[in-house]
Amino acid sequence: MRLPLTFLVPSLLALGACVDTGMPERPDGAAFFAQNCVACHGTYARGDGPLATTLTPPPPDLTQLARNNDGRFPETKTLAYIYGDPQENHLTRVMPNFGKDMALDLVPVDLDGTLTPTPRVLAGLLVYLESIQR
């Protein structure tokens, strides 16, 4: 079968536009989580990573964030906590900050009802974390 170019070219362009929406998705967040979070929070985010027993306070179970917030996943609070304080001005905490190298690649994310420019990787991470709430 031969498709006329006039049909094919616009179709391919349209397809490209669909595939690259630029919005991060759950698998992106899952990969980032596997690389950066499991040592402390554990493979299934239940707070039982290999380093967990060495930490005070211990890393929390991240599948309970919604339950601990009246059943609603706390988007802004979770994101802010992970982003941290890149200048490390006033935070004494065990968990590292992840905001340091991320500020340049921003996507708009609906955080508790407000569209907020958010580092792309963290937007994906948030989708992932919300998906594992139980």
Residues of the shown chain interacting with ligand HEC in the complex, contacts defined by CB under 6 A = 36-37, 39-41, 51, 55, 57, 59-60, 62, 78, 81-82, 93-96, 98, 125
Looking at this protein, which amino acid is placed at residue 114?
T
Inter-residue contact 82 to 125 (CB < 8 Å):
yes
- Closest separation in Å from C-beta 80 to ligand HEC: 9
Nearest to 29 by CA among 107, 117, 128, 110: 128
- Closest separation in Å from C-beta 97 to ligand HEC: 10
- Closest separation in Å from C-beta 65 to ligand HEC: 6
Q: Which is nearer to ligand HEC, 11 or 68 (CB)?
A: 68
- Closest separation in Å from C-beta 68 to ligand HEC: 6
Q: Which is nearer to ligand HEC, 13 or 94 (CB)?
A: 94
Q: Which is nearer to ligand HEC, 98 or 120 (CB)?
A: 98
CA atoms within 13 A on the CB side of 43: 0
Two structure tokens written together for 11: 């179709």
- Distance of alpha carbon 99 from alpha carbon 81, whole angstroms: 10
Nearest to 29 by CA among 1, 62, 5, 69: 62
Q: Which is nearer to ligand HEC, 30 or 106 (CB)?
A: 30
- Distance of alpha carbon 43 from alpha carbon 77, whole angstroms: 22
